[in-house]
Amino acid sequence: ELSHGFVAYKLGDNTAKNSGRLTLNPLKHLDPMGLLMMLVFHFGWAKPVPVNMNNFKNPKRGMAITALAGPVSNVLITLVFLLLYGALYVPLRGSDVGGYFLQMIELTAYMSLGLAVFNLIPLPPLDGSKVLFALMSDESYYKLMRYERYGTIIMILLVATGVLGKPLDTAVEWLYNALIPIAQAGCDIIYNLFYS
């Protein structure tokens, strides 16, 4: 959410900044219903960062770039944690505590990638819908944006019924495996520096 707000701010919209949402403090981004859903259904959300697309020079383009900021930041987190996993693998693998830290690092990388893929689904209010809508005519774009609130209900139904489960798992697993060489590179760097 910070990424969305920061990019919107850089594109000319200070709504998130004025709302105190340009922060890493998780309490500022907490949505009580999203947290409850996470606890009950293992699926939830943060409080969306307020964005006023009318403050952008090109509203549709600005909204698409702002929407992409979230998934892009998740992919960057994945890359950093995979590199960190590889770099720490040799020194930490021999102990139980080290193994636990490696598992947490790997889980963070995997979950972050999963969030990126999930948020790129072109269903309102997910980020992918805003990117897709930016490619439409202005008339179609504003017409579809009126129905954004119904997308949340559809999304919850798709997740609750498991319809999205297998396709999402397959996509995330494939992408994660494609990124494993990042971890290997981190391992190689540390091994060559300290163990060869």
Tell me the average confidence (pLDDT) per consecutive run of 10 residues in the chain, 196 residues long. 95 96 92 84 82 93 95 97 96 92 96 94 87 84 75 81 88 96 94 84
Q: What token pair was written down for 142?
A: 């504003």
Q: How far apart are CA 91 and CA 191, in angstroms?
A: 9
Q: How far apart are CA 171 and CA 179, in angstroms?
A: 12
Structure tokens, 47 = 């409080």
Provide the pLDDT for residue 72.
Answer: 97
Q: What is d(CA 9, CA 190) in angstroms, rounded to the nearest whole number?
A: 38
3-state helix, strand, coil in the chain (%, to 5): 75, 0, 25
Q: How far apart are the first and last CA of the chain?
A: 42
pLDDT (0 to 100) of residue 149: 75
Interatomic CA distance for residues 137 and 13, integer angstroms: 23
CA angle, 73 as apex, 184 and 156 as ends, to 5°? 110
pLDDT for 148: 73
Peptide bond into 125 cis (omega under 30): yes
Which of these is catalytic: 1, 106, 139, 148? 1
State residue 141's pLDDT score: 75
Is 106 catalytic? The answer is: no
Token pair in block for residue 138: 């202005």
- 């997308």: which residue's tokens? 151
**pLDDT score recorded for residue 74:** 96
| pLDDT the model gives residue 51 | 94
